Amino acid sequence: MEGPRSLKKEELHLAVELSDRIFSRGRGSMKDLYPLLFSEENAENIKVFMEKRKVVSMVGLLPKEVTIYGHKVLFGLIGSVCTDPKYRGKGLATTLLRQVEKDALKIGISVLYISGDRNLYRRFGAVDAGVFFTTILAEGKENGDVRKARLEDLPKLCSIYSQKAVRFIRTYDDFLKLFKASYAVDHKATYYIFKDSYAVFVERNGNLEMVEYGGIEEEVLEIARHVLFERKKEKCALHFPGFSGYTHFFDEKKRRNFLGTVKIISKDLLFEQLKGYFLERIPRKTFEDLREYLKGMDAPDATRYLFGSTETKIKYPLWCEGVLPVPIPDYGVDYV
C-alpha cells in the first residue's frame, strides 16, 4: 500500500470515484457538488492511501482564508473523509488526518473545520466551537420583488458578500463555481436576491432553512418570508452567527452547534494571525497574558475557549466583552 501522500492531478478522478461511491447517494458527482475541493488546483491538498492504482482512503483539505474584522486567518476545510469498506479498521483515516495536520501547518493553516462530528474527529481533538444561533420564522408573506438569483446577479452577490465583517474570502471565480454548483451544507441550495441583500436556502429532511445571507438584515427577512410563502412551508429555520444583528432582533433564539467540528492546530500561529484583532481591543500586556494562559491548554480546550462552544460554559474575565469568544464564520456554501 502506498501512502500517506498527496494526490496527483492526474489521479483526481480516482479520489472522486471513491468519494462518489461513499457519499454521492445518487445526487451527482462529488466533483460537481464540491468543485473547489475536487479541483486540479487543490489536488495536492487531498491526502490518500493507494493500492493497485486505486484510492482506498482519503482526506480532503481545502485551504481558505478567513477575514475577522479585517484580520486574516488561514483555515483548512476538511471534507470527503472516507475509506473503501474493504480497508476499514486499519487506522488509515486517522493516519491521513495526522498527515493533513502536518502539511496544513507547513502552509500556515492554524484552524481546521471538519464537516462532521464522528468519533474519528473527536479522537483527533476536534470539538464543537463557535457561537451560532437558530430562530424559527413561522409567517410567510409574498413579495413580488424577491426572486431567485441569476448568473448575471453574481457581481452584486460578490459585492454584498464582501461587506461581511467575518467571512471566508471568496474570489469571483470561486463564487462562480459555488453558485453553479448550488450546494450548501450537503444539500441542494437556492439563492434569492432582493434589493441589496441575498439569502441561500436548503431543505433538510423536508425542513426549510436559511444557511447563508448577506446585506441588510430587514431585507433578508423579507426574502425569508417570501420563500416561506413560495414553498408553502409552515416554518423556516434562520441560522445566524453570534455577531449578527439578529441576536438582538429575535427574542426567541436557540444556541446551536456548529455544523461540524473545529480544531486549533497551532495556537502560536493563530495568535500571530489574530494579533492585530486583539491589539485593537486590549492592551498588549493583556494580549501576552492571554497567550500565556492558553499555552497550558490542550487543543480541544483552547478551541472552546477562544471560539466559544455549546459543550462547556466558559466564564470569561470582564475585559473579554467584545473580544472573546473570537467570531468565526458559519459554513454557508463553503461547506465541504
Classify strands 166-168 and 54-68 as parallel, antiparallel or unpaired.
Answer: antiparallel
What is the spatial distance between Cα 95 and Cα 148, in angstroms, rounded to a whole number?
Answer: 44
Domains of the chain from N-terminus onward: 2-109 (3.40.630.30), 132-256 (3.40.630.30), 261-329 (no CATH)
Q: Does 325 sit behind a cis peptide bond, omega within 30 degrees of 0 on the bond before it?
A: yes
CB-CB neighbours of 9 under 10 Å: 11
Q: Which residue has the cell 459555488?
A: 178
The set of residues, in sequence order, having a beta carbon less than 8 Å from that of 290 and lying 6+ positions away, is 278, 282
Note down pLDDT in tens along the chain; length 336 residues.
999 999 999 999 999 999 999 998 888 999 999 999 999 999 999 999 999 999 999 999 999 999 999 999 999 999 999 999 999 999 999 999 999 999 999 999 999 999 999 999 999 999 999 999 999 999 999 999 999 999 999 999 999 999 999 999 999 999 999 999 999 999 999 999 999 999 999 999 999 999 999 999 999 999 999 999 999 999 999 999 999 999 988 989 999 999 999 999 999 999 999 999 999 999 999 999 999 999 999 999 999 999 999 999 999 999 999 999 999 999 999 999
Four-residue CA torsion sign, 330, 332, 334, 336: positive
Nearest to 186 by CA among 14, 12, 28: 28
Residues listed for the chain: 336
User: Considering Cα of 112, then 62, then 193, then 159, what sign does the dihedral take?
Assistant: positive
What pLDDT score was predicted for residue 230? 98
How would DSSP label each residue in 274-285? THHHHHTTS-HH
Dist CA 37 CA 335 (whole Å): 10
Measured in degrees and rounded to the nearest 5, phi and psi for residue 36 equal: -80, -40
The pLDDT, as a whole number, for residue 24 is 83
Please report where in the chains the cell 441561500 appears, as a residue: 200
CA 326 to chain centre: 15
The model's pTM is 0.97
